[in-house]
Amino acid sequence: MAANFQLPLQCLQYLEKRGAESQRFLIASSGGKIYSYAAETGQRLSSWPQDVDASNANNSKATETETGSEDQAPPEKKRKVSPSEEGPAETSKSTVKASTWSSIPCLVAHSNGDYVIALTAEDKCVRVLRLKDDGTLEQLSERCMPKRPCSIALTDDGNTILCGDKFGDVYSLPLLPGNEPYVAPKLPNRPKVPSATPLTVHSKRNLESLEQQLRYSQKNSTEEKNSLNFQHQLLLGHVSLLTDVAFVTVPQDDNFGKKRSYILTGDRDEHIRVSRYPQAHIIEGYCLGHTAFVTKLCIPQYAPGYLISGGGDDYLLVWKWSEGRILQKVPLVKQESETTQVTVRGIWATSIGGSNIVLVALEGSSNLQCFVLGSDGTLKPQDPIEMSGNVLDVAIMEKDSTIVVSVDCIREKGSTHEWRASPTSPSNLIESFRVKPGTENLEWEPVTESLVTNINMGGSSGIPADADTKQRKELNDVLYSLGNLRKKHGEDD
C-alpha cells in the first residue's frame, strides 16, 4: 500500500508563556485538530480535541477519526452527528470531539501565552482554549457565531476578541465570558402585525413585498432575532463581504501617555475602513487604492503608523493609514502579465536583529517574499526564500531570529489543486530559517535542529495517496479559498 500524505498545518502560531521560567510553544491546526509542540525540541505535546475516551468507544463513528498521528482515515470526512449520537449531553469541557468540523481556518495566540483562540469552520464557533504548562489544551468556551467568521483579532489589552464574519459584521466578545449566565437584553414587545397595510402600498413592487411579508409572518416575524446566548456587541458592519480585521493602538504625539485605538477592516469591494474603537460607528477614514479585493491587513507592531495591505492586486500598498495616504505601491510579480492572477495569502511583520522585516506569501506559491521596512515607510525587496512547497503560514520566534514556515506537502509547488505524484517520507510540514547574523543584507540560513525534524517526523493525519478526485477537491478548497473572492464579471442584471 502506498504511503499516506500528511495533512498540512493550516495555521501556525508561536506562543511564549510568561511565567517563572519562560515556556515556548508552537501551536498548529491541521484538519480538525490542533497540535502543540515544544518550541525548542519540536516534540509534540498534545493533540486537541483529545482522543475519545473508552466510554465513547462503542460509538464506532467517533472512533473512526480519533486515533492520533498514525491515523489512516481522513479526519475531514464529514460525518453528521446528531445531538443524540453525541453521547451524554453533559460531556465535560475537556472532551470536545472533532466531529462537527473538519478544519480550523483561524488560530490566534494570546499575547500572554495562556490562551489560544481557534475558529472551527462548519459550526462557526469561536473557541478559547487554555494552554497549560505541560502543553495540553483545554477548551474554556465555545461561542457559535450567527455567520461564518473569517477573521479574528485581539484588542491590545488582550481582553476582547474581535470577530469579523463573511456577512460584513464585526462583533466584540470578552475573551473570557463571565461566570454569570448570560441574560439577553429584553426586546420591547413590538406588535407583530405586518408593517404594511393596503394603505401604504401603492405600487406593484411594494405589493409584492407585502405579500411576501404576510406569508412570512405566519411563520416567524421577529426581526433582529437575538439568538446569541453569550455576551457580545455588534461593532460595525460592511455590506460587502468582510475579509480581515486589524486592531491598533497608537500613542498621541501631542498628548503624552494618551493612546487611541482603531479597528481596521478590509472587504471584497476593495475598501479598507478605519473606525474608532470602541466607538466603531465613528468612521475616521478610508484607505482606498486597491482595484481588487483586500485579503490582508498588517500593521507592524514596530511601526503602528503604517499599514501594509494586499489582496487580489499584484501589488502591496503601504499606507499612512490615519491619513488614508498611500506611501508606496510595491510590485509582487516580476513582470506584469495579464494571465497570472495573484492573491496575497499572508503578510507578517517582525523585527529581527534591528531590521524591520515584512514577509509576504502569495496563495499557492512556495516563494516567501522578504522586505525591509524603512523608517520612511518604504519597503525594500530582499532575496526571497524558496520553500519545498506552497507557504501556508508563518510563525515568528523573534528572540531566536527564527521563522517557522508551514508548507503544503501535498500539492505541487505553485499549484493550489495539483497533487504530487506520491508523498515523501517524512513529509515537510514545516521549514525553518534563521537570519544570518552580521550580514549587511537580510540573509537567511535553514534551521536543521530537532525542532524541524521532530515536527516533520511526527506527521499529522494521513491522507491516502489514492484519495479520489472529490476528496482531493474538498481538501484543496479548505486550504485555498481566497481566489474565490475574485469577482466574475458578466453576471449582471
Partner 1 sequence: MSTPPAKRQKRDQYRKRAAAAANEDTGKVKLPQKKFYRQRAHANPFSDHQLDYPLSPAHMDWSSHYPAFVNPDPEQKNLAGARKLLKDVEVVDIGCGFGGLLVGLAPLLPETLMLGMEIRTQVIEYVENRIQALRTQQNQLKNSSTTASESPAPAIPAEPATDGASPDAASTPETSNSPVPGGYQNISALRSNTMKFFPNFFGKQQLSKIFICFPDPHFKAKKHKARIISENLNAEYAYALKPGGLLYTITDVEEYHHWVLRHFREEGEHEASEGGVKDLFERVSEEELASDPCVEVMRESTEEGKKVTRNKGNKYVAVFRRKADPEWPA
Applying CB under 8 A, the residues found at the interface with partner 1 are 167-168, 185-188, 194-197, 199-200, 202-206, 208-210, 212-213, 216, 220-224, 236-240, 260, 269-271, 273, 275-276, 279-283, 285-286, 288-289, 291, 487-493
Q: How far is CA 432 from CA 78, 385, 427, in A?
A: 33, 10, 14
User: Of 112 and 222, which CB lies nearer to partner 1 in the complex structure?
Assistant: 222
User: Of 206 and 229, which CB lies nearer to partner 1 in the complex structure?
Assistant: 206
C-alpha gyration radius of the chain: 24
Q: In what order do the strands lie in the sheet with 33-38?
A: 11-17, 23-30, 33-38, 44-48
Collapsing DSSP to helix, strand or coil, 178 comes out as: coil
Which residue, 372, 357, 378, 365, is CA-closest to 333?
365
Report in angstroms how near the CB of residue 267 gets to partner 1 at its nearest: 9
Report in angstroms how near the CB of residue 232 gets to partner 1 at its nearest: 15
User: Of 291 and 439, which CB lies nearer to partner 1 in the complex structure?
Assistant: 291
User: Of 287 and 479, which CB lies nearer to partner 1 in the complex structure?
Assistant: 287
Report in angstroms how near the CB of residue 325 gets to partner 1 at its nearest: 11
Q: Which amino acid is at 157?
A: D
Report in angstroms how near the CB of residue 304 gets to partner 1 at its nearest: 17
Report in angstroms how near the CB of residue 483 gets to partner 1 at its nearest: 15
User: Of 15 and 163, which CB lies nearer to partner 1 in the complex structure?
Assistant: 163
- DSSP for 469-491, please give it: HHHHHHHHHHH--GGGGS--TT-
Give the separation between CA 378 and CA 356, rounded to whole angstroms.
11
Enumerate the β-bridge partners of residue 213: none
User: Of 80 and 202, which CB lies nearer to partner 1 in the complex structure?
Assistant: 202
Report in angstroms how near the CB of residue 182 gets to partner 1 at its nearest: 17
- Cα 106 to chain centroid, rounded: 3
User: Of 80 and 186, which CB lies nearer to partner 1 in the complex structure?
Assistant: 186
User: Of 413 and 486, which CB lies nearer to partner 1 in the complex structure?
Assistant: 486
Collapsing DSSP to helix, strand or coil, 310 comes out as: strand
Report in angstroms how near the CB of residue 199 gets to partner 1 at its nearest: 6
Give the separation between CA 493 and CA 491, rounded to whole angstroms.
7
Local structure of residue 333 (DSSP, 8 states)? S
- Strands (DSSP E) contained in 268-401 are 272-277, 283-286, 294-298, 306-311, 315-320, 325-331, 344-352, 355-362, 367-373, 379-381, 385-386, 391-397
User: Of 7 and 264, which CB lies nearer to partner 1 in the complex structure?
Assistant: 264
Alpha helices in 134-231 (DSSP H): 204-219
Instruction: Go through 180-195 and write b for each residue having 16 or more CB atoms within 10 A of its CB, e for each that does not.
Output: eeeeeeeeeeeeeeee
User: Of 224 and 468, which CB lies nearer to partner 1 in the complex structure?
Assistant: 224
Exposure of 440 by Cβ count < 10 A (0-12 exposed, 13-18 middle, 19+ buried)? Answer: exposed
User: Of 330 and 397, which CB lies nearer to partner 1 in the complex structure?
Assistant: 330
Report in angstroms how near the CB of residue 433 gets to partner 1 at its nearest: 37
Report in angstroms how near the CB of residue 334 gets to partner 1 at its nearest: 25
Report in angstroms how near the CB of residue 119 gets to partner 1 at its nearest: 23
- DSSP for 108-125, please give it: EE-TTSSEEEEEETTTTE
Report in angstroms how near the CB of residue 247 gets to partner 1 at its nearest: 16
- DSSP for 380-421, please give it: EE---EE-SS-EEEEEEEGGGTEEEEEE-SSBPTT-SSPBPS
User: Of 54 and 282, which CB lies nearer to partner 1 in the complex structure?
Assistant: 282
Instruction: Report the alpha-carbon angle 402-404-406, nearest 5.
Output: 165
Locus of grid cell 501631542: 254
Give the separation between CA 463 and CA 33, rounded to whole angstroms.
14
Report in angstroms how near the CB of residue 259 gets to partner 1 at its nearest: 10
Instruction: Go through 118-130 and write b for each residue having 16 or more CB atoms within 10 A of its CB, e for each that does not.
Output: bbbbeebbbbbbb
Locus of grid cell 463573511: 166
